[in-house]
Amino acid sequence: MYGRYVADVFYSPTLKDKEAVAEEGIFLNLEILKAGLAKMML
């Protein structure tokens, strides 16, 4: 609708296996919200 992609992004500085990162990694979207660099859109 707005010509952009929306995704849930998980990362880990130590984990390499993509399944492990998806299960145990850090949710980047939440980190950005906590840092005040984004706002929740409903």
42 within a domain of the structure (yes/no): no
Contact present, 12 and 24 (Cβ < 8 Å): yes
String of DSSP letters for 1-42: --S------EE-SS---HHHHHHHSEEHHHHHHHTTSS----
**Range of 28's domain?**
1-37
Total tally of structural domains belonging to the chain: 1
CA–CA distance, 10 with 18 (Å, rounded to integer): 9
Considering the domain boundaries, does residue 26 fall inside one?
yes
- pLDDT at position 41: 81
pLDDT value of residue 1: 74
pLDDT, tens only, 3-34: 988 889 999 999 999 999 999 999 999 999 99
pTM to 2 decimals?
Answer: 0.68
Confidence (pLDDT) at 18: 94
The pLDDT, as a whole number, for residue 37 is 96
* Integer Cα distance of 42 and 40 in angstroms: 6
Q: What per-residue confidence (pLDDT) applies to 6?
A: 84
